[in-house]
Amino acid sequence: MTGGVSIQIPSQMLPADGRFGSGPSRVPQRALERLAEEGLSYMGTSHRRPTVRRVVGRVREGMTALFGLPDGYEVLLGNGGATAFWDSAAFGLIERVSQHLSFGVFSSKFAQAVVGAPHLDSPEVIEAEAGAHPLPRPSDRIDLYALTHNETSTGVTMPVSRVEGAGLTVVDATSAAGGMTIRPDQYDIYYFSPQKAFGGDGGLYVALCSPKAVERVERIAASGRWIPPFLSLAKALSDSRKDQTYNTPALATIHLLAGNVEWMLEQGGLAWSSQHCAQNARILYGWAEAHPLASPFVTDPAMRSQVSGTIDFEPEVSANLIASVLRDNGVVDTESYPALRRNQLRIGLWPSIPRSDIEALLACIDYVIEALSV
- Binding residues for ligand PLP, rule: CB under 6 A, are 23, 81-83, 106, 148, 152, 172, 174-175, 193, 196, 202
CA distances from 36 to 26, 27, 191 (A): 17, 13, 28
Task: Judge contact between 231 and 88, C-beta under 8 A.
Answer: yes
- 148 vs 240 by CB, closer to ligand PLP: 148
Task: Judge contact between 184 and 161, C-beta under 8 A.
Answer: no
- 23 vs 199 by CB, closer to ligand PLP: 23
**DSSP symbol at 28:** P
Task: Judge contact between 160 and 182, C-beta under 8 A.
Answer: yes
- 154 vs 329 by CB, closer to ligand PLP: 154
Residue whose C-alpha is closest to residue 22's, from 372, 343, 311, 325: 311
- 153 vs 343 by CB, closer to ligand PLP: 153
| Beta strand segments in the chain, E | 74-79, 98-102, 124-127, 144-148, 150-151, 156-157, 168-172, 189-192, 204-209, 294-296, 308-313, 344-348
Min. distance of Cβ 13 from ligand PLP in angstroms?
30
- 178 vs 296 by CB, closer to ligand PLP: 178
- 154 vs 280 by CB, closer to ligand PLP: 154
- 202 vs 354 by CB, closer to ligand PLP: 202
Min. distance of Cβ 104 from ligand PLP in angstroms?
8
- 9 vs 56 by CB, closer to ligand PLP: 56
Min. distance of Cβ 317 from ligand PLP in angstroms?
27
Min. distance of Cβ 106 from ligand PLP in angstroms?
4
Name residues whose C-beta falls within 8 Å of residue 311's C-beta, 6 or more positions apart in sequence: 284, 288, 294, 295, 296, 297, 319, 344, 345, 346, 347
Min. distance of Cβ 42 from ligand PLP in angstroms?
23
Min. distance of Cβ 82 from ligand PLP in angstroms?
4
Min. distance of Cβ 146 from ligand PLP in angstroms?
11
Q: Which residue is nearest to ligand PLP (CB)?
A: 81
Bridge-based pairing state of the strands 98-102 and 124-127: parallel
Min. distance of Cβ 309 from ligand PLP in angstroms?
14
- What Rg, from alpha-carbon coordinates, does the chain have? 21
Q: Buried b vs exposed e over 309-332: b needs ≥16 C-beta within 10 Å?
A: bbbbbeeebbbebbbbbbebbebe
